[in-house]
Structure 1
Amino acid sequence: MTTQPGTETAGRVIDVLLLFTDGPDELGVSRIARELGLSKAVVHRILQTLVARGMVTLDPQTRLYRLGATAAALGARALRELDLRAVAASALRRLQEETRETVTLTALVPGGRVYVDQIVSTHEVKMTVELGRRFPLHAGSSGKCILAFLPEGRREEVLAGGLPALTGSTHTDPDALRAELEAVRELGYASSQGERQADAGSVASAVFGLDGDVRGSVSVCGPRSRFTSQFVSACAPRVVAAAHDISTALGWTGISPVAAPKVSSHATTEGSP
């Protein structure tokens, strides 16, 4: 099928905007052209259009572009309208009160995942995440538990597409990661020690929608030093319970097309993490 000129142009505009969600806060014409395989002239025309509509702004000193007020407004509106975020609010608050660590909510998006909400820890030393930035699925517990419950074909596409190292602890061996994802499906949760962010630890569980497909994940995260094996073991049932409650509110009946987590939503621990 032949691509229509208007469709091709729209696709290029979207590709330019998406670069700002994955990479540095500021980008220049040369880098955008190189990343997308476009001429500098084409990139410059696209950026001028985006500037005129407030989607990006140009720093006259550095000649670098960054997302503008219109893009920020669109992102804020998208977050307000996202059912997953609204439905998860009470479960996130409860989980943060139980663990005192930062609690996050992640949504599955094309090409990876994004954090859409967080409630920050009450500890003096704490972890925070960047909302709206896309991250790969293979790095960190929030991504791994989503990846574990994707349909096999989509999961294998991710495993075969390259697993870049974000830190020295990121899983880059497809076979090793494949084995871990099987364990995640058995346990109902994933854990991470410095896989996405070097000094961070986390525990996450997948969230499912009405059709049983994975929609995202909920996690507890914080400084790696506090995420001992004992803390992870105590925290995991609470994370699984929160994910189950969110999934149920989204209409999930308890059955995933891949496999349902085996940990009960009513699992408890002795004492608080």
Structure 2
Amino acid sequence: MSETFPVYGTGHLGSVANAIDVLKAFGTRGEWRVTELSRELGLGKSTTHRLLQTLAAGGLVEQVAERGTYVLGMELVRIARAAARRTTLGAVAHPHLAELAERTQDAVLLTVLRGHRYLCVDVVNEAHHIISVVQLGDTVGLHAGAGGKAILAFQPTVFRSLVLGEPLVHYTDQTIRSPEELEVELESVRRNGYAFSDGEVTAGSASIAAPIRDADGRVIASVNATTSSSRMRELGIERYRDPVLEAAHNISADLGYVRPGGAGRGRGQE
């Protein structure tokens, strides 16, 4: 006797697939109106609204009533945090993030490459003087902020060209919007081994980030120390640069990466 199975895209399975597509849409854009999201996904407005309401009931998305939009919910953030720490990268990196946060007394972020954006997957925040930083689950264009530039600078030339060929989103007045200016900045990152940002994503915050490599030497993530712009100017870049480079090197080493011509751990090397 042959069995029959639901066809993907119909019935209850189709609803689940549509719900997954809704959640994935928040990975490319942090906030959606029902009309915009329905058009993006090719779903009816009423269907999209029902999906969002169901996800909101489970805490996976939240409605921002005053703006008439939806954002990711804290329950999904909690799930993402737990999942990130169970992955090899998350499990390996977290103790180093905690140590770096203790040393700097500032916010430390782990960001990973996701398409042409970077995703914040872990935060250890000792920066009680910081009002606003990139939060867990946020995604940002690779051209903006130290975390993104530390990843983008070490990607293959073809990949970088694709990113630079897209419109560069304007987060603040300090965001780099010229492909030519960004290419010069990325060359500096490759030369120095770390990226610097002052107000490129959030006005009034500055950060230093360094690339994290997997066992094959590919840059897959970055570690980022973030503080206020005024505190960075007061204490100096050097206070953050060397601990961030050390953390990135140690995370990479724990993932199995061995620098050409070197082995083992080293303080402040990358």
Tell me the residue number matched to 1:17: 23
Note closer, same or farther for the CA distance 1:67–1:103 as it changes in structure 2 (3 Å cut): closer
Shift of 1:64: 6.1
Residues 126-135 or 106-115, more deviating: 126-135
1:150 paired residue among 132, 155, 164: 155
Q: Partner amino acid for 1:17?
A: L
Shift of 1:46: 4.8
Q: Partner amino acid for 1:266?
A: R
1:210 aligns with 2:215: yes
Residues 134-143 or 101-110, more deviating: 101-110
TM-score w.r.t. length of structure 1: 0.78
1:246 paired residue among 230, 245, 251: 251
1:196 aligns with 2:201: yes
Tell me the residue number matched to 1:266: 267
Q: Partner amino acid for 1:20?
A: F
1:6 paired residue among 5, 8, 11: 8
Equivalent-residue separation in structure 2 for 1:59 and 1:122 (angstroms): 26
Tell me the residue number matched to 2:87: 82
2:176 paired residue among 152, 171, 175: 171
Percent same amino acid among aligned pairs? 36
After TM superposition, list the pairs within 5 Å mapping 1:65-104 onto structure 2: 67=72, 71-72=76-77, 74-104=79-109
- SS of 2:26's equivalent? helix
Shift of 1:110: 2.6
The gaps in structure 1 that reach 5 residues or longer are 269-273
Tell me the residue number matched to 2:3: none
Question: Residues 244-268 of structure 1, C-alpha deviation per residue, up to 9 Å, x if partnerless?
Answer: 000000111125xxxx9xxx94349
Note closer, same or farther for the CA distance 1:95–1:58 as it changes in structure 2 (3 Å cut): closer
1:180 aligns with 2:180: no
1:194 touches 1:200 (CA, 8 Å); kept in 2?
yes
Shift of 1:138: 0.6
Shift of 1:118: 1.8
Question: Residues 136-160 of structure 1, C-alpha deviation per residue, up to 9 Å, x if partnerless?
Answer: 1110001101000111111111111
Tell me the residue number matched to 2:142: 137
The gaps in structure 2 that reach 5 residues or longer are 1-6
- SS of 2:111's equivalent? strand
Residues 75-84 or 188-197, more deviating: 75-84
TM-score w.r.t. length of structure 2: 0.79
Superposition CA RMSD, Å: 3.3
Equivalent-residue separation in structure 1 for 2:57 and 2:267 (angstroms): 53
Note closer, same or farther for the CA distance 1:122–1:44 as it changes in structure 2 (3 Å cut): closer
Q: Partner amino acid for 1:18?
A: K
Shift of 1:134: 1.3
Shift of 1:14: 3.4
Q: Partner amino acid for 1:248?
A: A
Shift of 1:70: 6.7
Question: Residues 107-147 of structure 1, C-alpha deviation per residue, up to 9 Å, x if partnerless?
Answer: 21234111122222255456543101211111000110100
2:81 touches 2:122 (CA, 8 Å); kept in 1?
no
Note closer, same or farther for the CA distance 1:31–1:117 as it changes in structure 2 (3 Å cut): same
- SS of 2:210's equivalent? strand
Shift of 1:89: 2.2
2:212 touches 2:219 (CA, 8 Å); kept in 1?
yes
- SS of 2:118's equivalent? strand
